[in-house]
Chain A
Amino acid sequence: MATTISNTDSRTIRNVRVKANFERTAFMFMRSSGIILVILAVGHVMLQLIFNNVHYLSVEFVAEQWSSWGWKVYDMALLVFALTHGINGFRNVLEDYIHNRGAMKVINILLVIFLVVSIVWAGYAIASADPAAMDAAALGQ
């Protein structure tokens, strides 16, 4: 007598061991950073252009914002995720067209250097921003 499956709706879910590799990690990063960026970027736009009237968007406004470490961290997070997400996307586009492995290796190294330098440089600028000095500069003093 043949065996029958009594529950036709039962769905089997099996666990499989998947080898980690850079492309998988990069894919997961792009998805998660994409979601984070939507929140950060939309929040940034709302704050700058809607809650704060665009006509009053000035150095004084940024100085006031950066007097709080919370906003500094917010802007640094935006910087890190946007740059890393964008550079990785750019790498993907380049890899579609550059098939020479040596050339791609050099380009990848240059992209990493650009990414790290940009994040450190801009991150330092945000972290070390002095609201009082910014206000004074805005007033031409």
Chain B
Amino acid sequence: MQVNIKIRRYNPEKQAKAWWGEYTLQDCSRTDSVLDVLHRVKWEIDGTLALRRSCAHGVCGSDAMRINGANSLACKMLISRLGKEGADSINIQVEPILGLPVLKDLIVDMEPFMEHYRSVLPYFINDEPAPADGRERLQSQADREKFDDTTKCILCAACTTSCPSYWANGKYVGPAAIVNAHRFIFDSRDEAAESRLNVVGDTFGVWRCRTIFNCTNACPREIEVTKAIAEVKVALATGKV
């Protein structure tokens, strides 16, 4: 199978403007992922192509990119899903995720994203002494279930960088930060829900969400991101978590 791939290239040391690199690969398999194709471009055609990747199995979240106009992980997106059934050739377009400064080719500066992530205190906070048996703070299955979905986030930024509200204003904390706030706000063992709600309830918090659902569609872990944001809005409106 032939793959025609267009990659958004950018190297500020050589050229101030971004450009499209077009490459053709032969003998690709339908079971290849977009990451496999990018590897072939880098290893067989142009070694200067820069991209992030690590586990290549949809766990580390390094290779989020915009593939044929929609965010996903390059390692999880099979090329067969991008072409017509039984087609002999597939056209693919790959760009860096939007809304974050591009450093080189497909590599973006994740710092603005991480800054928003850190702002929601994404760690367990409970200063009370541990229970008498000294082992663990227990909770019911129903209490655990409340934030089960949002524990799955791998911080790939596919959701935040698919959000038009985030594209419009980078001060918006973004879906990923809210998902990670949700994970602790609804944890019955945690004691800092108020602090987190004050962050995500601020002017540039959840109120910027317009329920567009791009984040839910983009999430490679199938987290119901928009639903989680709505649950945080309800918590802010009712004062109950």
Contact A5 B139 (CB under 8 A): yes
- Chain B interface size band reads 35 or more
Instruction: Point out the residue from A2, A5, A15, A21 that lies within 8 Å of B135, measured CB to CB.
Output: A2
B215 in the interface, Cβ–Cβ < 8 Å? no
Output the least CB separation between A12 and chain B (Å). Answer: 4
Contacts of A12 in B (CB 8 A): 139-140, 143, 188
Q: Let me know if A16 and B240 touch, CB within 8 A.
A: yes
Q: Mask for A111-140, Cβ within 8 A of B = 1, else 0?
A: 000000000000000000000000000000
A42 interface residue (CB < 8 Å to B): no
Q: How far is the CA of A120 from the CA of B223 in the complex (A)?
A: 47
Taking CB atoms, residues of chain B closer than 8 Å to A26 are 207
Distance in angstroms from A79 CB to nearest chain B CB is 26
Are the C-beta atoms of B169 and A5 separated by less than 8 Å?
no
Q: A13-B240, A16-B194, A23-B203 are in contact. Are A3 and B131 (CB under 8 A)?
A: yes
| CB <8 Å contact, A8 and B141 | yes
Give Cα A16–Cα B193 distance, bound, in whole angstroms. Answer: 7
Q: Which residue of A lies closest to B171 (CB)?
A: A99
Are B169 and A9 interface neighbours, CB within 8 A?
no
For the complex formed, measure the closest distance between the CB of A27 and the CB atoms of chain B, giving whole angstroms. 5
Minimum CB–CB distance from B155 to chain A (whole Å) comes to 25
B143 in complex: contacting residue of A3, A11, A23, CB < 8 Å: A11
Chain A to chain B contacts (Cβ below 8 Å), 7 pairs:
A3-B131, A5-B139, A11-B142, A12-B139, A16-B235, A18-B235, A23-B205
Interface residues of chain B, those whose CB is within 8 Å of chain A, are 131-133, 135-136, 138-143, 146, 164-165, 168-169, 188, 193-194, 197-198, 201-203, 205, 207-208, 210, 233, 235-237, 239-241
Given contacts A5-B140, A27-B207, A96-B168, 7 further A-B contacts (CB under 8 A): A4-B138, A11-B140, A11-B143, A15-B240, A16-B235, A17-B239, A27-B237
